[in-house]
Amino acid sequence: MDQERLTIVVAAFNEADSLPALQPRIAAVLDALARDGVEGQVLYVDDGSRDATWQVMQQLAAGDRRVALLRLSRNFGKELALTAGLDRIDEGAALILDADGQDPPELIPQFVDRWREGYDDVHGTRLEREGEGWLKRATAHAFYRVIGMLSKTPIPADTGDFRLLSPRALHALQQLRERHRFMKGLFGWVGYNRIAIPYHRDPRAAGRSKFNFWRLWNLALEGITSFSTAPLRLATYLGLLTALVAFLYGVVIIVKALFWGDPVAGWPTMMSVILFLGGVQLIALGVIGEYLGRLYDEAKQRPLYLVDSWQPARPARSAHALDEGDRVQRLRGSAVD
Ligand code: UDP
Ligand code: MG
């Protein structure tokens, strides 16, 4: 029998309070999956936490053989922590889960069902965002609309990282080695058969959100610059527009000077024009700079992350032993026949 495998990847940064509550829920799901013929394991990635997260993880691993641990050398951010986790999976499907219990693990069997139906990218779509202020909701809403308009890659709205990737989608994702990783966009880029599962996103179980407005703003910039060059084109159009206005205004000045002479005046107009053009130029330069900076980062070719330690899961029966058992079973069966 071909055993289906699933690895649940959980990136955690300072989640010592949340993990002990999460692990029993995951373990229950893994038990249910095992009864359903899916060999599941969970991989916790410690993204350079400064609290007791790593110690907590080790306790969890000691208590359950299906727990694998990966620790990064420092805090690399959620996107890279997830990448590090996904890179470690060389067999079967992957499922990404937040450490704070906001994505209910109890839904995982539904994701697996969809995978079995032939979908490669099963993603959870939030029906509402509990425990988040109206400002965060409004800005998130605006962001998904803007990126939807700017980017040619389909990026579904209100979809986080809670998703299952089939082996081939995972393999495709592992080949995307860009440094500036806007994961939602990368998932979209991979394509294949995609389907959404609507779900209610719970409030955080413990601790605080790591994403304040500044980080979210940067994430939004990352998303737009990674998946669209529209801002560069916007700079061109803005330049064309100001050139056109400047030309028309120049005609007005010349005509005025021809008919009414050229007394020295116009200090206010001159100042406003100079300041306006200066501002437009700086904005355009800034936009170019955003892209140039990212190009610079890519050009350095540094590794995406560094691993501090790696502790694989210790399945009770290895895949090999299982195959052996199967064969013995089959031999016995044929002997009886
Ligand atoms: N996270 C991480 N590295 C970071 C920041 C966050 O691995 O630098 C993890 C965090 O532990 C959690 C997930 O990313 O499992 C989502 O973070 P959070 O709940 O703070 O974000 P929110 O749900 O508020 O968007
Ligand atoms: Mg959260």
Is the pLDDT confidence value at 165 over 90?
A: yes
**What is the mean predicted confidence (pLDDT) over 136-152?**
81
The secondary element (H helix, E strand) that includes residue 315 is none
If one residue of 50, 54, 210, 217 were mutated to test the ligand 1 pocket, choosing by the most ligand atoms within 8 A of its CB, it would be 210
**What is the mean predicted confidence (pLDDT) over 266-285?**
83
Is the pLDDT confidence value at 330 over 50?
A: no
**What is the mean predicted confidence (pLDDT) over 195-213?**
76
At 305 the pLDDT is 93
Name the residue among 78, 111, 70, 107 with its Cα closest to residue 93.
Answer: 111
Q: For residue range 205-236, what is the model confidence (pLDDT) as tens digits?
A: 666 776 677 878 888 888 888 888 888 888 88
At 1 the pLDDT is 43
Looking at per-residue confidence, does 322 or 195 come out higher? 195
The answer to which of 130-134, 153-157, 196-200 has the lowest mean pLDDT is: 130-134
Dist. CA 26 → ligand 1 center (Å): 18
Is the pLDDT confidence value at 41 over 70?
A: yes
Dist. CA 35 → ligand 1 center (Å): 31
Q: Note the pTM of the prediction, 2 decimals.
A: 0.74
Q: For residue range 117-126, what is the model confidence (pLDDT) as tens digits?
A: 999 999 988 8
At 329 the pLDDT is 44
Q: Say which amino acid occupies 257.
A: A
The answer to which of 69-83, 259-273, 289-303 has the lowest mean pLDDT is: 259-273
Burial 189-211 (b: 16+ CB within 10 A, else e): bbeeebbbbebebeebbebeeee
Q: Alpha-carbon torsion 169, 197, 115, 46, what sign? A: positive
**What is the mean predicted confidence (pLDDT) over 308-332?**
60
| Concatenated DSSP letters of 247-295 | HHHHHHHHHHHHHH---S--HHHHHHHHHHHHHHHHHHHHHHHHHHHHH
The binding-site residues of ligand 1, defined as CB within 6 angstroms of any ligand atom, are 11-13, 15, 47, 75, 77-78, 81, 98-100, 102, 209-211
Q: Say which amino acid occupies 166.
A: S
Is the pLDDT confidence value at 333 over 80?
A: no
Q: Looking at ligand 1, which atom is closest to the CA of residue 102?
A: 23
Is the pLDDT confidence value at 289 over 80?
A: yes
Name the residue among 143, 163, 172 with its Cα closest to residue 98.
Answer: 163
